[in-house]
Each structure stands twice: as structure tokens, then as C-alpha cells.
């Protein structure tokens, strides 16, 4: 019995990445590396940390970091789980464009944002490889996002005058200043590998 107790249990610690964050055109492409640890029985703790690529898409000189923490309950004898997560992001960037009525004068919109978010997610893992050492995890959920954005835009009228980005609904939410709570919908994929 003593020997059996001394053998480490399988799948207690994993490393994971979020491949979709590399092509996040809405918030700015970023890289994330994280870990998940089994605390006891069916309770897990996860943490992911990341930074932004400076000039990968329309957001230039993109700087900042993000952190994502989750406490998760995995249903017994299942690869399904439910988690409560907290996400934090601090980011600054520039957006370059022209006004329709002044195409000869380039403009730069400077933006700084801080986001705090609380989510309730459902997650499904799909283990693979020998001894199921790797997994793909799909997740989706709802929450609330507290957004604090400072921008050189003063009002929506400025955004409507943009030559390239004026008709983009997603860019509008990225650039327009404000301090307000929003409903948050999220979904994603994580790729993980168990170390032990």
C-alpha cells in the first residue's frame, strides 16, 4: 500500500498553448503559454500568460500583456468540466488611417486599454497520443467584461470619418474610448501536453 501511494498520479501537470491567439485580429495577435495543475481529486488550477506582436496586423506598436486564471471542476469519469475564470489585459497600440475628407493627411490613433473579465466556461478535452499525454481542449462561456479605454478619438463621429476602418464594427469597439461593463462571450482552443 505504501508503494502504491508513493507512485505519482498521472496527468497532474500540463503545459498548454492557445493557437487561436496567434491570429486574433480583433484584439491584436498575441502569444500565450500556460500551465494546468491538478490540485486534488477533480479540481484544477490553470494560468496562461502572454504578450503582443508589435506589428502583426492593423494595430501598430502593439505592447502589453495578458493573464488568464481559471479554477476548474472536472466531472467524474469524464473529460468535461466547468470553470470560473478571471482575465486581465493591459495593452497600448497605434492605428494608422486617413479621414475621408482629408486623404492627404495621415492620422494616428493612440489607444491604451485595460480589461478585467470574469467568465463561466464549459470545457471538453480530447486526449490523444500514446497514453493520452496530449490533449485538445475546446471551451466556450459567458461572462462580464470591464473595459477601460483611453484613445485620441473623442467621439463616434471621428470613427465614421475613417477611410479604411470606418465601416468595421469590430475596429469600432477596439478604438472608441470608454469605461463601461459589457457582456463577454468567449470560445477557444487550447493544446496541452502532460509533463507528469
Of 182, 183, 179, 178, the closest CA to residue 156 belongs to 178
Provide the pLDDT for residue 28: 83
Residue 3 covered by a domain:
no
Domain count, the chain: 1
Provide the pLDDT confidence category of residue 104 given band limits of 50, 70 and 90: confident
- How confident is the prediction for the chain on average, in pLDDT? 89
Of 39, 52, 48, the closest CA to residue 11 belongs to 39
Question: Domain with 138 in it: what CATH number?
Answer: 2.40.160
pLDDT digits (tens, 9 = 90+) for 24-69: 877 788 999 999 999 998 999 999 999 999 987 788 999 999 999 9
Residue 155 covered by a domain:
yes
- φ/ψ of 172, rounded to 5, equals -55, -45
The reported pTM is 0.85
Q: Which residues contact 59 (CB under 8 A, 6 or more apart)?
A: 28, 93, 94, 95, 174
Provide the pLDDT for residue 167: 65
**7 pLDDT exceeds 90?**
no
Amino acid at each position: 500500500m505504501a508503494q502504491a501511494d508513493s507512485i505519482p498520479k498521472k496527468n497532474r501537470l500540463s503545459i498548454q498553448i492557445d493557437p487561436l491567439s496567434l491570429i486574433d485580429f480583433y484584439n491584436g495577435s498575441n502569444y500565450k503559454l500556460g500551465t494546468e495543475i491538478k490540485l486534488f481529486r477533480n479540481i484544477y488550477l490553470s494560468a496562461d500568460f502572454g504578450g503582443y506582436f508589435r506589428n502583426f496586423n492593423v494595430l501598430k506598436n502593439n505592447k502589453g500583456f495578458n493573464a488568464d486564471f481559471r479554477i476548474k471542476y472536472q466531472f467524474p469519469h469524464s473529460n468535461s468540466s466547468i470553470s470560473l475564470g478571471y482575465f486581465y489585459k493591459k495593452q497600448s497600440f497605434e492605428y494608422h488611417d486617413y479621414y475621408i475628407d482629408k486623404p492627404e493627411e495621415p492620422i494616428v490613433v493612440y489607444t491604451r486599454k485595460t480589461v478585467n473579465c470574469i467568465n463561466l466556461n464549459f470545457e471538453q478535452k480530447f486526449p490523444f497520443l500514446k497514453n493520452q499525454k496530449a490533449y485538445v481542449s475546446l471551451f466556450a462561456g459567458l461572462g462580464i467584461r470591464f473595459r477601460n479605454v483611453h484613445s485620441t478619438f473623442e467621439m463616434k463621429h471621428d470613427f465614421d470619418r475613417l477611410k479604411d476602418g470606418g465601416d468595421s464594427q469590430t475596429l469600432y469597439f477596439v478604438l472608441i474610448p470608454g469605461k463601461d461593463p459589457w457582456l463577454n462571450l468567449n470560445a477557444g482552443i487550447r493544446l496541452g501536453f502532460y509533463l507528469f
